[in-house]
Amino acid sequence: MPILVMKFGGTSVATLDRIRRVAKRVGVEVAKGYDVIVIVSAMSGETNKLVGYVNETSELFDAREYDAIVSSGENVTAGLMALTLQEMDVPARSWQGWQVPVKTTNAHASARIEEIPPANILQKFEEGMKVAVVAGFQGISSEGRITTLGRGGSDTTAVAFAAAFEAERCDIYTDVDGVYTTDPRICEKARKLDKIAFEEMLELASLGAKVLQTRSVELAMRYKVKLRVLSSFEEQSDEAGTLVCDEEDIMESNVVAGVAYSRDEAKMTLVSVADRPGIAAAIFGPLAEAGINVDMIIQNISEDGRTDMTFSCPTDQVARAEKAIEGIKASGELNFSGVDIDQSVAKISIVGIGMRSHAGVASKMFKVLSNEGINIKVITTSEIKVSVLIERKYMELAVQSLHDAFELEKA
């Protein structure tokens, strides 16, 4: 039998009524002849509640116990889903990560999947089971402890299962009906895409789009897993949602596929740093060790042999970044006159595989922003994206203006 992987997020399984609705959808795929692997998240709000319990109990908690606690939300959903399917006379069984087993690294709260042996579930399919309901977001370490994959890890679980079981497709059900050219809440002209290339989706996910977790897209691209993003709350056809696939599977695409934004960005500048070999390593090595997610980097060199080093990071990491920078200065390894911090910026990005073969895309973006009186603070580019930092108060205007300028509402 062909295998289909279906993943349902927290809002899709938030209540027993929604679990029943999801179970009916799974039953439709079973009736089509699929053996189905269902990956479930915890019911909406449950993981936050469990994390709250942990923080209230222990400020400096043991990460192994943290994983044991927060993974329990998915276990509940998996059991309820299996029971619901059984009530519909669909042979189903719930599976926790250790039962599959989903083998992971030992990095608690941010583990990575190393292997998913398919033998146990395949044997149950051969014995007549039609649906394996797997608790997402979790696995088991080489030490035999429960691990979790980080927030959004159920997406990664789903793609990893699709790769391990050579599934025909991996359907990600969420509270939106696909991938849009930008956030419809900001731009009413935003259009749902029928198809998007893996590379485009990876850039959009990493630049602020919340539809798919970045690691799940990386896995899908590496193992050529066809992903479909669609809504749990609408009637579906075989053409519903957005298909995330190889570039070769898209006949024709716009130069720019979408506009992404990240609201909570900060710009930090080390002022008057000595310009010498190894200076970047001296700065960004300790920042990496402190877990700072540095994104955009720019260096301005002056005539007196000094330089200003600017980088961006999420606003919730500024305090840790400051502490790391203070440590660098205290060590005597680096001298600078001060640190300028701007926490009122946003990152705006345009993404599209068509940018590889079209000149002038970046200059058009800059002109559009200039015409709106929006000043660009930092610029970074890659083969298929251009990102800029601007004042946060202009974020929505920038998104709308760029969406209009590149005519993204047109198919």
| 145 annotated as a binding-site residue | no
Residue 175 has pLDDT above 70, yes or no: yes
| 175 annotated as a binding-site residue | yes
| 139 annotated as a binding-site residue | no
Q: CA-CA distance, 155 to 327, in Å (whole number)?
A: 37
| 150 annotated as a binding-site residue | no
SS3 12: helix
Q: What is the pLDDT of residue 172?
A: 95
Q: CA-CA distance, 31 to 23, in Å (whole number)?
A: 12
- Verify cis geometry, omega within 30 degrees of 0, for the bond prior to 2: no
Residue 74 within a domain: yes
Q: Do 263 and 163 belong to one domain?
A: no
Last residue of a domain, one of 146, 175, 204: 175
Q: CA-CA distance, 343 to 220, in Å (whole number)?
A: 34
- Stretch among 122-126, 187-191, 334-338 having the lowest mean pLDDT: 334-338
| 53 annotated as a binding-site residue | no
Residue 235 within a domain: no
Interacting residues of 277 by C-beta distance below 8 A, sequence separation 6+ = none
| 198 annotated as a binding-site residue | no
pLDDT tens across 284-343, in order?
999 998 888 898 998 877 667 788 889 999 998 999 999 999 888 888 777 888 899 999
Q: CA-CA distance, 124 to 92, in Å (whole number)?
A: 10
Range of the domain at 98: 3-175
| 364 annotated as a binding-site residue | no
| 28 annotated as a binding-site residue | no
Q: CA-CA distance, 369 to 389, in Å (whole number)?
A: 11
Question: Could you please report the per-residue DSSP string of 120-180?
Answer: HHHHHHHTT--EEEEETTEEE-TTS-EEE--TTHHHHHHHHHHHHTT-SEEEEEESSSS-B
Residue 273 within a domain: yes
| 76 annotated as a binding-site residue | no
- Stretch among 164-178, 229-243, 355-369 having the lowest mean pLDDT: 229-243
Q: What is the CATH number of the domain that holds 20?
A: 3.40.1160.10
Q: What is the pLDDT of residue 234?
A: 73
Mean pLDDT to the nearest integer, 235-259: 80
pTM: 0.82
Q: What is the pLDDT of residue 135?
A: 98
| 147 annotated as a binding-site residue | no
Domain tally, the chain:
2
| 148 annotated as a binding-site residue | no
Mean pLDDT to the nearest integer, 338-362: 92
Residue 68 within a domain: yes
Last residue of a domain, one of 175, 196, 211: 175
Mean pLDDT to the nearest integer, 389-394: 96
* Residue 240 binned pLDDT confidence (cut-offs 50, 70, 90): confident
